[in-house]
Amino acid sequence: MPQIDPKRLAERLVLSPEVRAALADGRPVTALESNVITHGLAYPDNVDTALAVEAAVRAGGAAPATIAVENGHLLVGLDRNAIERFATEPAIPKVSTRDLPFALARGGKGATTVASSLAIAELAGIAVFASAGIGGVHRGAAQSWDVSADLIQFTRSKVAVVCAGAKTILDLGLTAEVLETQGVPLVTYGFDEVPAFYCRGSGVPSPQRLDDLATIAQAIDLHWSLGGSGGVLVAAPIPEADALDGEAIEAAIADAVASADAEGVGGAGLTKRLMRAVDAATDGRSSRANAAVLIHTAHLGGKLAAAYAALAAPHASTRGELV
């Protein structure tokens, strides 16, 4: 069995001064993915949103750590110049966990997904990650076997994930079933259903509801203390003022799925078609809702990181080694 060389790994892991200082002092840090910068909004909206998301983490009481790959290094924490670089360079590839070793070996830039961000956050010793929406089981997965790597990574990385549920274009019921099968603890914050990204309700009942972040932080701490091998999923719905009409979106998705089936379109082609259908059904409001949910979950992620840091200080040494 190959042994991990901490020195070689440390050479690859580059913490920003803000993140390094926060981790060294035991202060809360919330990790963020960079995929939303490179594959989300157009420039300069992607920069403005990334900065607003980081500001939301700080308002919640934590230091933001946006994660990316560049020149053979794992960057944990981006400054304004780095965000601008990733926001303006075209064709930066998405890097999931399977892609990380090759992205590092080749050099160049890579935008981290939820899965790869979790793997890197754990290496850095960061306990909380925030994202707008996670990946999950795709519609038609019984034939395509299209299941996001996010769901598997939740079983591997000891990082709590704050999100607004799985993306609306996915099969939310099957996503919840896979999480249950894999033993991933799922709790909703102040809501009785598993939220549906930029729609509040999904119709999928929450297995656990808690109404305060301090209790959620305690549950996360207990999960790891009891030997839990992976993360905890904390789902909170988008605020009502920013939420989209779930029935209209579901109708648009159903029509898009039917037309795709008739034309034999699947995989990435189906995903793109569903996203276009949602954009059309909402007259473009889905982009604004996406930004709103990013900021909302980032703020909650900062608050949860602060609540967890208050509990974790006495036994912080049991988590990440590269702090």
Q: Which residue has the higher pLDDT, 80 or 290?
A: 80
pLDDT at residue number 6: 64
Note if 7 is an active site residue: no
Tens digit of each residue's pLDDT (9 = 90 or more) over 118-159: 999 999 999 999 999 999 998 877 777 889 999 999 999 999
Q: Is the pLDDT of residue 39 over 90?
A: no
Q: Which of 54, 70, 122, 167 is catalytic?
A: 167
Boundaries of every domain in the chain: 6-242+287-317, 245-281
Q: What is the pLDDT of residue 253?
A: 74
pLDDT in tens, 242-263: 988 877 777 777 777 777 667 7
Q: 255 Cβ partners below 8 Å, 6+ apart?
A: 277
The helix or strand, by DSSP H or E, that contains position 209, with its residue range, turns out to be strand 209-210
pTM exceeds 0.85, yes or no: yes
Burial level of 50, CB count in 10 A (0-12/13-18/19+)? buried
> 15: closest CA among 48, 62, 63?
63
- Mean pLDDT score of the chain, rounded to an integer? 89
CA distance 185 to 175: 13
CATH class, range 6-242+287-317? alpha beta
Closest Cα to residue 319, out of 33, 78, 23?
23
Write the DSSP string, 80-127. HHHHHHHHHSTTPPEE-GGGHHHHHHH-SEEEE-HHHHHHHHHHHT--
- The verdict on whether 33 is a catalytic residue reads yes
Helix (H) or strand (E) holding 59: helix 45-59
> 33, 54, 70, 122: which one is catalytic?
33
Q: How far is CA 180 from CA 70, 121, 158, 196, 215, in A?
A: 35, 23, 17, 17, 21
Q: What is the rounded distance in angstroms from the CA atom of residue 8 to the CA atom of residue 194?
A: 41
**Contact status, residue 30 vs residue 65, Cβ threshold 8 Å:** yes
